[in-house]
Amino acid sequence: MRHLSLTARMSLMFMLAVTAVLTVAGLSFNHLSQRHFKSLDYQVLVEKLESAQSILQGLPSVTDFTDLKPQLSALLGAHRDLAAIILDSDGKVLFAEPTMVNVPQGLRVRSAPTMWEWEDQEYMYRGLTAELNVPGLAAPLTLLLVLDVTHHMAFFEALQRWFIIGLVISALVSAGLGWVVARSGLRPLRQVTQVAASMSAKSLKERIPMEPVPLELQQLMTSFNAMLARLDEAFVRLSNFSADIAHELRTPVSNLMTHTEVVLSRKRDIEAYEENLYSNLDDLKRMSRIIDDMLFLAKADNGLIVPQRELVELETVVAKLFEYYQLMADDRGIALKLTGLGSVRGDVLMLDRAISNLLSNALRYTPPGKSVTVRIAQTAASTRLSVENPGESIPAEHLKRLFDRFYRADPARREGTPSNAGLGLSITRSIVEAHSGRIWCTSAHGHTTFHMEFPRLNETRETV
């Protein structure tokens, strides 16, 4: 089933709303008009009844009724649609003016002065039936006042007919106006559609101007422009990432091809083949590490990393890592220092890997004879671990990009080393964020510090 367009729906709703309002207004007007005319008819009948009763009060006997006929005829002559019938107690017609109306018998015996309605073929009448007590007569007389209201009914029938015609015309006109208004109001949405349809990798920087957009659609346009900005940023990051990973894998692949071509260029002894295989193995291990790191980051981007939630004492993890890196530090005369203690709830292996990446990075850029300091502190809201090392300060423009994949702040180190592909800080950030924490870097006055902050545990421990 084909769905109506938004313009057609709004036009239809506008038409239905206008039709409903006009229908209610028309029915209300018709009802009030009929009540008004009915009230006027009742007023006329009551006035004539009172006048006729006043005339008949002077009747001495039924035989003298002929003397009152001129007065009664004059009373009724002012209203050409009004007829009067006077009956005696036996039902005999004493007076009928202007002509005898065949009023049903049931309407002739009413005594209460209430107005009745009666239809005869194409005619409609309203009337009153009243008993008149005349002082000179032993039995009361019956007075029937009959008002022909056929022209009233014809007026209302014509009014209803024209109202229906006007309602149909108004509905069609309102539908057309609604379509014009809706189409004009939805012009920004068509603009969004055109921009979305023209989107490509080369046009992600286009934005919808906000000036002509109505207030109701500004939030939608703002969200759409923000989405385009995110897509542009993600595409640029993906493009750079693709170029970086191709660049990183090109070196080991090139080494493998070169070594293999050299070895195969002529016959060699078994030791040469073994040496080439060992060299190839180092490059294969490097490629394997890069692939493993990329798989880890891909899982992190899709929320597939779910760390265990166990109590981890950070000072214990750091102490074990100090034992691992102690030999490397001693070779360069670098001291490893630890202050403070604290605990987090998380995955000990992931946290070990994150801290190890920071320590490895700090040892790589710390000058000989200096020291790397790890500080652990707990506050009322969080547990923080900082890794500080002396060395050349990192420019401020590089601090926010340090955690991007394959990014290196030092242009001289963009090629990396066999053990460093530029993914360590990206992996560290993914691990910290998987533990609902955050990581950032500060660098000034010859000191660089990486900070990791995790939510505070319910368990309390004293810090030193």
124 part of a folded domain: yes
pLDDT, residue 408, reads: 61
Question: How many domains, the chain?
Answer: 3
Whether 278 and 259 have beta carbons less than 8 Å apart is answered as no
278 part of a folded domain: yes
Report residue 464's pLDDT band, with 50, 70 and 90 as the boundaries.
Answer: very low
Residue type at 12 in one-letter notation: L
pLDDT in tens, 400-459: 778 776 666 555 444 444 455 567 788 888 888 888 899 999 988 889 999 999 987 654
Pairing label, strands 116-120, 335-339: unpaired
CATH number where 403 lies: 3.30.565.10
Whether 368 and 337 have beta carbons less than 8 Å apart is answered as no
260 and 390 assigned to the same domain:
no
User: Distance of CA 264 to CAs 79, 261, 270, Å?
Assistant: 130, 5, 13
297 and 353 assigned to the same domain:
no
pLDDT in tens, 341-350: 888 988 888 8
pLDDT, residue 90, reads: 75
pLDDT, residue 302, reads: 62
| Region 286-302 average pLDDT | 69
| Region 78-85 average pLDDT | 75
Which of 301, 334, 357 delimits the end of a domain?
A: 301
Is 227 a residue whose pLDDT tops 80? yes
Query: Can you tell me the distance from the alpha carbon of 228 to that of 26, in angstroms, rounded to the nearest whole number?
Result: 52
pLDDT, residue 145, reads: 82
| Region 197-225 average pLDDT | 73
Which of 125, 146, 164 delimits the end of a domain?
A: 164
CATH number where 240 lies: 1.10.287.130
In this structure, the number of other CB atoms found within 10 A of the CB of residue 310 comes to 10
DSSP per residue over 380-421, as a string? Answer: SSEEEEEEEEESSPPPHHHHTTTTSTT--S-GGGTT-BTTB-
Is 41 a residue whose pLDDT tops 70? yes
Whether 189 and 182 have beta carbons less than 8 Å apart is answered as no
Report residue 212's pLDDT band, with 50, 70 and 90 as the boundaries.
Answer: low
Residue with tokens 């379509």: 179
257 and 342 assigned to the same domain:
no
119 part of a folded domain: yes
438 part of a folded domain: yes
275 and 385 assigned to the same domain:
no
Q: For 134, which DSSP code?
A: -
HSE-up of 285 (CA within 13 Å, CB side)? 9
Whether 109 and 34 have beta carbons less than 8 Å apart is answered as no
288 and 315 assigned to the same domain:
no
198 part of a folded domain: no
Whether 385 and 314 have beta carbons less than 8 Å apart is answered as yes
Query: Can you tell me the distance from the alpha carbon of 87 to that of 315, in angstroms, rounded to the nearest whole number?
Result: 121
User: Distance of CA 105 to CAs 53, 95, 110, 301, 431, Å?
Assistant: 22, 17, 10, 95, 101
Query: Can you tell me the distance from the alpha carbon of 58 to that of 196, in angstroms, rounded to the nearest whole number?
Result: 96
Which of 334, 385, 331, 382 is closest to 357 using CA atoms? 385
pLDDT in tens, 320-338: 999 988 988 999 999 999 9
225 and 373 assigned to the same domain:
no
Q: What are phi and psi of 123, to 5 degrees?
A: -110, 155
Is 460 a residue whose pLDDT tops 50? no
289 and 351 assigned to the same domain:
no
CATH number where 81 lies: 3.30.450
pTM > 0.85: no
Report residue 1's pLDDT band, with 50, 70 and 90 as the boundaries.
Answer: very low
pLDDT, residue 122, reads: 78
268 and 155 assigned to the same domain:
no
369 part of a folded domain: yes
259 and 321 assigned to the same domain:
no
293 and 369 assigned to the same domain:
no
Which of 266, 301, 336 delimits the end of a domain?
A: 301
137 and 250 assigned to the same domain:
no
Domain that holds residue 451: 310-455
Among 26-35, 218-227, 254-263, the range of highest mean pLDDT: 26-35
Q: What are phi and psi of 267, to 5 degrees?
A: -70, 135
Query: Average pLDDT over the chain, rounded to whole?
Result: 79
321 and 450 assigned to the same domain:
yes
Q: For 460, which DSSP code?
A: -
Report residue 247's pLDDT band, with 50, 70 and 90 as the boundaries.
Answer: low
